[in-house]
Amino acid sequence: MRRKKALHEMVTVQGLTQVCDTSSNILRRGVWLLIFCGALAFTTFNIYKQISLYLSAPVNVRVDQIFDNILLFPTITICNNNYAKGSLLDIFGLDHVIPAVFPYTDFDEQLPNVNLSQLDLSAIYVDGQLSFNLGHTIEEAIVKCDWESAPCGQDDFIYKETDLGKCFTYNVNGSLRSRNSGRAHGLRLLLNVQEEEYTRSINGYLGTGFMIAVHAPEVSPIMSETGIAVTPGFQHFMSIGVKRVTAKEGVGGCGEKPLKYFTGNYSRDSCRKECQMRFIVSMCNCKDISNPSDVPLCNPQQYQECLVPALQQYLQTDTGCEAGCPEPCQYTRFTTQHSSSPLSRNYITEYTKAKGKTEEYWRKNLVILEMYFSSLAYENMEKQLGYEILDLFCDIGGALGLLLGASLLTVLEVFDFMFISVFSGVFEKNKVNSK
């Protein structure tokens, strides 16, 4: 009798007192029991939905357009589509090697009979690493450079190994700042393709020209995926936009993953390249030129007989590795809009008079590239948790109070009553047994 009274006093859930009221007839108590069970089921389902929402970690995205007086200019990576210069291959007696290593696949090419395992590559390989650059040099490629209408030099570029071979990079540390938008406050380059030196590309690019990547300095670009093609005989315009993304650790699945073969700041591109590298090394025990690790570089035979098939197998196989590459919680992404127009006949004529050679040569080789911010306003995207623990408790409290008239304290009172009942029963049983 005492416990029933305690239950009546402590448990103030709406409807439960009518179910427990012994003075009422059984029909009334039965109706209230059905009502209470329905309310309890609805409340339980509602709480389950709120907990599921919290565990799914929804994200609210706030996007703002922010105007700044100065913007950091991106890093620019430039790759000639040609992997190795024909004149250098002749000097080292390797002119027959490139077609064998990088054959054309669109037709049945008559390939030279080359035993790749017996090649003497001592002139260009030392301890398994390339000791000589078979590709185009910065001095040959950069005819003229202007930054914000003032001259810049070839010393402002450094070499970078990518998946397209030996490339070169401008503004490698991302320190340049644009004081305004428009062509006068950007980068202007005159590039020489050297079409007469073309042999093969490393990734099946069949046209002459360059691949251009616009990226943050901490990102190692995958040129075959992010590169923009620019062809000779044209003036190319690339307007650049900026998007900055920030989030707290773990929000939206952002984070970092430790990498074995790539050092420096984490990026999702480097993580994806890491997945590819792990797969290739596990099959070939060597690497391609784009990887900076200490793994030995594949020789021509390994490249043709193992690396190329391994790469094709990787692209056709879902290893699940890249799915585990999160986006970093803070990063800057550059967008580009590309347009071009053919160089005028008059310009080519006057340029030939000043530089020599022939008009035909410059029409086949000259690339004019202008890169600039389209606006000093950038898009700032901030990701926040859309449903936090306080929201969960408030909604659970609302679900309990909606139909049951209860609160979280009421739930605690129920557990407290059950705890007291169990332990008081055990205590009384032990007391009786001791007598």
- The pLDDT tens digits of the residues spanning 104-162 come to 777 777 766 666 666 655 555 544 445 456 788 899 999 999 999 899 988 899 988 88
* Mean pLDDT, rounded, for 352-374: 94
DSSP class of residue 297?
A: B
Write out pLDDT tens, residues 183-230.
999 999 999 999 999 988 877 788 899 999 999 988 888 888 889 999
Q: What pLDDT is stored for residue 265 in this prediction?
A: 79
Average pLDDT over residues 376-392: 84
Task: Flag whether pLDDT at 100 surpasses 80.
Answer: no
413 versus 4: the higher-pLDDT residue is: 413
How much is the mean pLDDT over the chain?
A: 82
Region of residue 174 (phi > 0: left; psi between -120 and 50: alpha; otherwise: beta): left
Task: Please give the residue that has the higher pLDDT: either 73 or 21.
Answer: 73
Using CA atoms, how far apart are residues 153 and 149, in angstroms rounded to an integer?
A: 13
Least confident residue range of 310-314, 335-339, 430-434: 430-434
Q: Is residue 2 very low, low, confident or very high in pLDDT (cuts 50, 70, 90)?
A: very low
- Residue of 216, 217, 221 lying closest to 332 (CA atoms): 216
Is the pLDDT confidence value at 394 over 80? yes
Cα separations in angstroms, 317 against 160, 211, 271, 275, 342: 29, 27, 17, 12, 42
- How far is CA 116 from each of CA 99, 298, 379, rounded to the nearest angstrom? 12, 12, 52
Q: Residue 1: its pLDDT value, please?
A: 47
The whole-number pLDDT of residue 10 equals: 47
Say whether pLDDT at 267 is over 50: yes
- The string of pLDDT tens digits covering residues 24-64 is 778 877 777 787 788 778 888 888 888 888 887 788 888 88
In order of start, what are the domains of the chain with their CATH numbers?
Answer: 2-56+388-434 (1.10.287.770), 65-83+135-250+333-384 (2.60.470.10), 256-325 (1.10.287.820)
Distance, in Å, from the CA atom of 334 to the CA atom of 382, rounded to the nearest integer, reads: 16
Percent of the chain with pLDDT over 90: 28
Got the DSSP string for 258-294?
--SS--SS--HHHHHHHHHHHHHHHHHS-B-TT--SS
Supply the pLDDT for residue 343: 95
Question: pLDDT tens digit string along 54-78?
Answer: 887 788 888 888 888 889 999 999 9
